């Protein structure tokens, strides 16, 4: 019972005693007694924190639940994207981005050689310092009787395991068309190991003329043998008959040879 109710009940009790003393009618005495009991029974609850006697608490459904403590909220692990991983922490390939040396012929014909079979029929290539895809030089092959065939052989260390990927990419320019049956341009890639195992991949022939530079690639996405060496060829095929004396250029430049072990 709060102080207000106690004071009111006390006052009514005094009145009741006075009424009894003054010999009030019995009915009025009973009414006063019931009034005291009612006031005591309807006493408001004790005020809690933030609740005043004149401001009853809100319904439970109207009181928002307190949010969980920060330590109780589950937090998903944050995985940074691959691009956000510092380069120093990314896997380092044991192979260079380009296995070929002097890939754009800026150092003349160094590290390259001619296929002796092509030289036998006058198919020797020459340096080109006017027409180039990038830099100041390219290599000029010929659509002639014996055809031209330049090559570079590289060692792969450590050895590429079975299931590796090999990609040869180059730029070439062919201002004049060859024959539908000969004197075309193509790429060839031979790779093998010290156990005398080897495989060969070749592009389709390019025989149509085009005025600008074009990019082409030759690849094997899954090797069947371990690889310790790779040999790349840029070739113009042999010609004969009515095309025997055909002698037009094919320019090649910016070779790239990439290897990728299986994951």
Confidence category of residue 143, pLDDT binned at 50, 70, 90: confident
In this structure, of 86-95, 177-186, 203-212, the range with the lowest mean pLDDT score is 86-95
pLDDT one-digit tens code per residue, 25-68: 656 656 656 665 665 555 555 555 554 555 554 554 455 566 55
Omega cis (within 30) before 158: yes
Confidence category of residue 117, pLDDT binned at 50, 70, 90: confident
Longest dimension (CA), the chain: 152
Q: What is the pLDDT of residue 240?
A: 61
Which residues are bridge partners to 257 per DSSP?
A: 168
Q: DSSP secondary-structure letter at 95? A: S
Q: How far apart are CA 250 and CA 141, in angstroms?
A: 5
H or E element at residue 171: strand 165-174
Dihedrals φ, ψ of 31, to 5°?
Answer: -60, -40
The DSSP bridge pattern shows strands 185-192 and 113-114 to be unpaired
Confidence category of residue 146, pLDDT binned at 50, 70, 90: confident
pTM reported for the whole predicted model = 0.65
224: Cα separation from own chain's centroid: 28
Q: What is the pLDDT of residue 21?
A: 47
Give first-to-last CA distance, the chain, whole Å: 80
Check if the beta carbon of residue 182 is closer than 8 Å to that of residue 240.
yes
Q: What is the pLDDT of residue 60?
A: 45
Region 176-198 average pLDDT: 87
Q: How far apart are CA 207 and CA 235, in angstroms?
A: 12
In this structure, of 32-36, 98-102, 130-134, 170-174, the range with the lowest mean pLDDT score is 32-36
Q: How far apart are CA 171 and CA 159, in angstroms?
A: 28
pLDDT at 219 over 90: yes
Q: How far apart are CA 253 and CA 130, in angstroms?
A: 12
């Amino acid at each position: 019972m709060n102080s207000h109710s106690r004071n009111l009940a006390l006052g009514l009790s005094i009145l009741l005693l006075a009424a009894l003393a003054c010999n009030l009618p019995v009915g009025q005495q009973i009414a006063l007694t019931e009034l005291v009991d009612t006031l005591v029974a309807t006493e408001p609850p004790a005020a809690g924190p933030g609740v005043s006697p004149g401001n009853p608490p809100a319904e439970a459904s109207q009181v928002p639940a307190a949010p969980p403590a920060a330590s109780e909220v589950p937090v998903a692990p944050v995985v940074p994207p691959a691009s956000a991983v510092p380069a120093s922490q990314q896997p380092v390939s044991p192979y260079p981005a380009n296995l070929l040396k002097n890939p754009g012929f800026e150092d003349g014909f160094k590290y390259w050689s001619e296929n002796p079979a092509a030289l036998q029929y006058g198919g020797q290539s020459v340096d080109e310092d006017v027409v180039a895809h990038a830099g100041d030089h390219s290599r000029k092959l010929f659509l002639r009787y014996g055809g031209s065939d330049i090559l570079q052989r590289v060692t792969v260390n450590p050895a590429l395991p079975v299931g590796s990927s090999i990609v040869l990419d180059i730029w070439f320019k062919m201002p004049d068309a060859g024959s539908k049956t000969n004197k075309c341009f193509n790429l060839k890639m031979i790779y093998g190991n010290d156990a005398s195992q080897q495989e060969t991949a070749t592009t389709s022939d390019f025989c149509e003329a085009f005025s600008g530079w074009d990019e082409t690639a030759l690849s094997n996405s899954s090797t069947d043998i371990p690889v310790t060496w790779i040999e790349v060829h840029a070739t113009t095929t042999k010609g004969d008959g009515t095309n025997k004396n055909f002698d037009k250029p094919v320019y090649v430049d910016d070779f790239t040879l990439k290897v990728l072990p299986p994951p």
